[in-house]
Structure 1
Amino acid sequence: MAASVDPVGTGDLPVTGRPSVPRPGPPPWVAMYHSVGDCSDDPYRITVTPERLGLQLAWLRRRGLRGVSVAELLAARARGGGRNLVGLTFDDGYADFVTDALPLLRRWGCRATLFALPGRLGGDNAWDPLGPRKPLLTADGIRRAAAEGMEIGSHGLTHVDLTKADDLTLKTELVESRALLEELTGVRVDGFCYPYGTIDARAVDAVREAGYAYACAIDPGPLTGPHALPRVHVGQDDTSWRLHLKHRLHRLRRRPVEGL
């Protein structure tokens, strides 16, 4: 999706004599995934089977769309392109990203952003009281995903609701998680994803001040912007027809994004 930016240089003026202000572009279409595997016990609807993910990626390619990381999508939009790109994100850093998602992404020529929890490497989804324990990636797993061309972003240290965190915890979750991931991969970490999708102005400001270039939420409403990007949940029930509707409705229902 191309951003609606007026091609006016810094020194140019429109006929009114007033400086032109670029209009915010339509929100980028970013799909939100979590786990890829057995979804027979899935109370939070966070899991898609490998078969379903493969069909969803195939649907993208049939429509002339390609899944990319959020960083790649935003960079393309900044250049005035990206019309055929869709952001793919996988939250929490489940171990099945490497075993089940990565081969499918490779097969369909797609890339994605993996939002990991460096404070829980090799652990599990202890923050979910219901459902099965799902193992998280180890340090080696995250390095392998990065080596395969996936963008690694931060999901915080330990999956804390930032809107309920005190000032010290908030800063630690943002700053230390980024530093650990950069040390782990040797690559700059530009992206953040809010645990639980919950945000407020204080959390958004803290993410910006921590130096992240962008952050993903779910439905940020009036806080929508580069540090509160809306996303679309994609689950096991999303057939081709449901994806078609979600793709069309996202542009109509979400707020424009300033600067994109």
Structure 2
Amino acid sequence: MLPEHCANTLPIPILVYHQIEGAPARGAAFRSLYVSPEAFGRQMGLLKILGYQGLSMSALMPYLKGEKQGKVVGITFDDGYLNNLMHALPVLQHHGFSSTCYAVSQRLGQTNVWDQAQGIVQTPLMSADQLRQWVAGGQEVGAHTRHHVNLSACDDALAWSEMTGSKEALEAAVQAPVAHFCYPYGVYAAGHVAQARRAGFSSVTTTRRGRCHSGVDLWQLPRVPVLRSTSLPLFWLKLASRYEDRRTA
């Protein structure tokens, strides 16, 4: 079977967020990954003003495949932080947007323990009940492995278990299909792409920067990072220009 590729005629940005919360004190590790609730609200408001529709990965798929045309942007959140539910969900609902949150199935209701060795602040993750609230609020859950592993450090059997196990556990938790996956740390190899397809995921996102152009592999989708330092003018540039495309690596 030949690989399936994006067939959209216009570049589609897929935004990636982590935490929607005020940043920890200056000097804290990975402080850049915090976007304040106020900044997030302004960004979603700008999307609406500019005529974009914010979509989950499932809702975005017909546009990526060229079956629909429109001014759309994908909205994704990595890791499943509780502050996504608290601060992002009301804003998304206010604007009529949907999004996909990639959750780590064996860490529900815990904290981002995979970051502990790097000294990153430990933050609550959504529990199974809170993920159901997320879905009931019109949003979507995607898979991010069972333990937020570096797939390249796993043998084939463990990588397969981490992928398929997260899909199965999250589907049981939210009682809804989990059709989309995100490579933890953005680290993967060709074999993991094949595994993700075989596991039944319709799309997979990466940390490679850029917008989705026609011909991009649906199991290696680039995204547009939104950081604490992302001003509104820069946010617009990331959406509507080649700013991110030139940073593809």
Q: TM-score, normalised by structure 2?
A: 0.87
**Regions of 4+ moved over 6 Å:** none
2:151 is aligned, of 139, 162, 185, to: 162
Q: CA, structure 1 residues 233+251, in 2 after alignment: closer, same or farther (shift >3 Å)?
A: closer
Aligned to 1:10: none
The alignment status of 1:31 with 2:8, answered yes or no, reads no
Contact (CA 8 Å) 2:146, 2:165: kept in 1 or not? yes
Contact (CA 8 Å) 1:60, 1:66: kept in 2 or not? yes
Gaps of 5+ in 2: none
Structure 1 residues 6-64: Cα deviation after superposition (integer angstroms, max 9, x where no partner): xxxxxxxxxxxxxxxx9944553100001111213452221111000001101111111
Please state whether the residue corresponding to 1:215 is helix, strand or coil: strand
Q: CA, structure 1 residues 176+250, in 2 after alignment: closer, same or farther (shift >3 Å)?
A: farther
1:89-100 to structure 2, matched below 5 A, reads 89-100=76-87
Q: CA, structure 1 residues 70+236, in 2 after alignment: closer, same or farther (shift >3 Å)?
A: same
Contact (CA 8 Å) 1:230, 1:254: kept in 2 or not? no
Matched AA of 2:72: L
* Post-superposition offset of 1:229: 0.4
Contact (CA 8 Å) 2:56, 2:99: kept in 1 or not? yes
Counterpart-to-counterpart distance in 1, 2:201 and 2:235 = 30
Q: CA, structure 1 residues 64+159, in 2 after alignment: closer, same or farther (shift >3 Å)?
A: same
2:24 is aligned, of 40, 43, 49, to: 40
Aligned to 1:228: 220
Gaps of 5+ in 1: 1-21, 256-260
* Post-superposition offset of 1:220: 7.7
Contact (CA 8 Å) 2:152, 2:187: kept in 1 or not? yes
2:242 is aligned, of 242, 249, 256, to: 249
1:111 is aligned, of 89, 93, 98, to: 98
Aligned to 1:238: 230
1:64-79 to structure 2, matched below 5 A, reads 64-78=51-65
Contact (CA 8 Å) 1:163, 1:202: kept in 2 or not? no
Please state whether the residue corresponding to 1:81 is helix, strand or coil: coil
Contact (CA 8 Å) 1:34, 1:94: kept in 2 or not? yes
The alignment status of 1:81 with 2:51, answered yes or no, reads no
Q: Percent identity?
A: 32
Q: CA, structure 1 residues 136+97, in 2 after alignment: closer, same or farther (shift >3 Å)?
A: same
Contact (CA 8 Å) 2:16, 2:224: kept in 1 or not? yes
Q: CA, structure 1 residues 23+29, in 2 after alignment: closer, same or farther (shift >3 Å)?
A: closer
Q: Which has the larger radius of gyration?
A: 1
* Post-superposition offset of 1:224: 4.7
Contact (CA 8 Å) 1:220, 1:228: kept in 2 or not? no
Aligned to 1:149: 138
Matched AA of 1:116: A
1:118-157 to structure 2, matched below 5 A, reads 118-128=105-115, 129-157=118-146
* Post-superposition offset of 1:166: 1.1
Matched AA of 2:65: A
Contact (CA 8 Å) 1:29, 1:250: kept in 2 or not? no
